[in-house]
Amino acid sequence: MNSFGTAVKLTLFGESHGEEIGAVLEGLAPGLTVDEDFICHQLSLRRPHGAISTPRVESDDFRIVSGVYQGKTTGSPVCILIPNADTHSADYPLGMVRPGHADYTAQCKYHGFQDPRGGGHFSGRLTAPLVAAGAIAVSALQENDIYIGTHIRELAGLEDRPFEDLVADADMLGEMMFPVLDEKIAERMKEEILAAAEDGDSVGGTLETVVTGVPAGVGEPWFDSVESVLAHALFGVPAVKGIEFGEGFGFARMRGSEANDPLRIDGGKVTHLSNHSGGINGGITNGMPILFRSVIRPTPTISVPQSSINLRTLENEVQKGTGRHDPAIVHRARVVVDSVTALVLCDLLTQRYGTDFLAQI
């Protein structure tokens, strides 16, 4: 559906070319700081920048219309509205089915009543209110010394360096429009994106996310494991097609002696000597950093001719993508992944410790 969460719940609404899009965030502790400048900053990380992104640039002039008073959450639902202004609806004629998009599946489910313009409710445009709401969650976690950082681990066969100093790396990434840890590889990645754009094509990539500061004991076994809940939410993000935690699929090439994370007592505290499990055992956090990777597919709207169909004429047709699109969305998806992660963690922490935990009341 359009809502996610148990104790802290997010609802998204709107369409890509509708008047406004928005989010409702329920269950937040009263007294959380809502920094509108920080929300603007987070939205800027999602916004297109230059030739490696779509020409559609929305100002994202959000309005918070409920749930906040004098810069603090009141405990009632927070509603955020963002207008759509830079729309070219004529680029989306009725009957057009774009390969890789939800045009056909939406027709099957909604029988032609769906809004097809720009992908309608299925559009990545709806990640804007998600990021605005997620900014409040990110701030709340930071006030509790929990930090999230995501970088482009791989793009078009090029790899960034792995995380080293987790806190410093995460802090640095939070200010970067193109989030990589190795400046040299950044330029090469951008060249690959521009090369795909010149061919009328697109590229995908892998994002790697680390979360530090989450205490041990958060989460549930089996079907509400931390991995399950994070994956459930992250797969709701358009273009996410794969998730792996810790070593992920790399476990298939390891022995148990290599894959396990030995423990020891250090200064009266339990610590692990490695983190192959990505900070989670039995679905519950073990106090080590949470580490996972998200696969982002290439943008499906491309100018390369592709076989498709027309739903109005029920005929086959060769189609070239129309409208404005990104030759890559990996760098823009980073802040969306951060936002979803923050919202999920706020939900899990609230379930574990109570509503007032995040506000330190």
Mean pLDDT of the chain: 93
pLDDT digits (tens, 9 = 90+) for 200-221: 999 999 999 999 999 999 999 9
Residue found under tokens 């998204």: 12
What are phi and psi for residue 347, nearest 5 degrees?
-65, -50
Residue 149 has pLDDT above 90, yes or no: yes
pLDDT in tens, 182-199: 989 999 999 999 999 999
Asked if pLDDT for residue 78 goes beyond 80, the answer is yes
pLDDT value of position 323: 61
pLDDT at residue 289 tops 80: yes
Q: What is the pLDDT of residues 150-182, one digit of tens each?
A: 999 999 999 999 999 888 898 899 999 999 999
**Element (H or E) spanning 96, and its range?**
none
Beta-ladder partners of 266: 269
Q: What pTM was computed for the model?
A: 0.94
pLDDT at 90 over 70: no
Query: For position 8, which CATH number holds?
Result: 3.60.150.10
> For residue 156, what pLDDT is reported?
92
pLDDT at 322 (0 to 100):
65
Phi, psi of 141, rounded to the nearest 5 degrees = -65, -40
Q: What is the pLDDT of residue 353?
A: 97
Could you write out the DSSP letters of every residue in 283-329? Answer: TEE-SSPEEEEEEEPPPS--SS-EEEEETTTTEEEEE---S---S--
CA 117 → CA 15, 46, 89, 313, 357, distances in Å? Answer: 8, 21, 6, 19, 42
Amino acid at site 284: I
> Quick one: average pLDDT of 118-135?
92
Higher pLDDT residue, 138 or 53? Answer: 138
Helices 36-46, 127-143: crossing angle, 10 deg rounding: 130
Q: Which residues pair with 149 in a beta bridge?
A: 210
Q: Is the pLDDT of residue 92 over 90?
A: no
Secondary structure tally for the chain: helices H, strands E: 8, 18
Residue 185 and residue 158 in contact, taking contact as beta carbons nearer than 8 Å = yes
pLDDT digits (tens, 9 = 90+) for 311-338: 889 899 998 766 667 899 999 999 999 9
Task: Provide the domain limits for residue 329.
Answer: 3-357
- The 8-class DSSP code of residue 333 comes to H
Q: Does the structure show a pLDDT above 80 at 89?
A: no
Q: Looking at the predicted structure, is the pLDDT value of residue 91 above 70? A: no
**Secondary structure letter of residue 235 according to DSSP:** T
Number of domains in the chain: 1
Three-state SS at 215: coil
Q: Which of 146 and 90 is assigned the larger pLDDT?
A: 146
| Per-residue model confidence (pLDDT) at position 361 | 74
Calculate what percentage of the chain has a pLDDT beyond 90: 78
Whether residue 87 is predicted with pLDDT greater than 70 in this model: the reply is no
Q: What mean pLDDT do residues 64-81 have?
A: 98
pLDDT tens string 250-262? 999 999 999 999 9
Q: Would you say residue 293 has pLDDT above 80?
A: yes
